[in-house]
């Protein structure tokens, strides 16, 4: 199988192998996330906010209506803040 760039195709029906793989992975992921958020809100209540994180959150534009906020670097920003608060060298003798 060829290496496939993570680019969301405009249509879900693949026109060639690369397009079909992109569609299956990315459109499939959009459906998975949309369904999971819907089910969580049904179980836990619609008052919970959904925040998209991670690098893929910025390319999956069909999910923008699902999330209240998109923060692609949230985890990295959090780790940076923790590192600023914690002495990673351990206690000094």
- Phi, psi angles (nearest 5°) of residue 70: -120, 120
Gap between the Cα atoms of 85 and 3, Å rounded? 40
pLDDT at 47 (0 to 100): 81
CATH of 17-85, one of 3.20.20.70, 1.10.275.10, 1.10.3720.10, 3.30.420.40: 3.30.420.40
pLDDT at 91 (0 to 100): 65
pLDDT at 65 (0 to 100): 92
Q: What is the mean pLDDT of each run of 10 residues along the chain (93 residues)?
A: 88 92 93 94 87 84 90 91 80 62
pLDDT at 92 (0 to 100): 63
Residues in the chain: 93
Whether pTM exceeds 0.85: no
pLDDT at 29 (0 to 100): 92
């Amino acid at each position: 199988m060829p290496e496939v760039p993570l680019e969301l195709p405009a249509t879900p029906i693949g026109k060639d192998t690369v397009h079909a793989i992109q569609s299956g992975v990315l459109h499939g992921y959009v459906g998975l996330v949309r369904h999971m958020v819907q089910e969580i809100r049904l179980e836990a209540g619609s008052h919970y906010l959904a925040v998209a994180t991670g690098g893929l959150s910025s390319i999956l534009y069909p999910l923008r209506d699902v999330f209240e906020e998109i923060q692609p670097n949230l985890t990295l920003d959090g780790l940076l803040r923790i590192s600023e608060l914690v002495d990673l060298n351990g206690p000094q003798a």
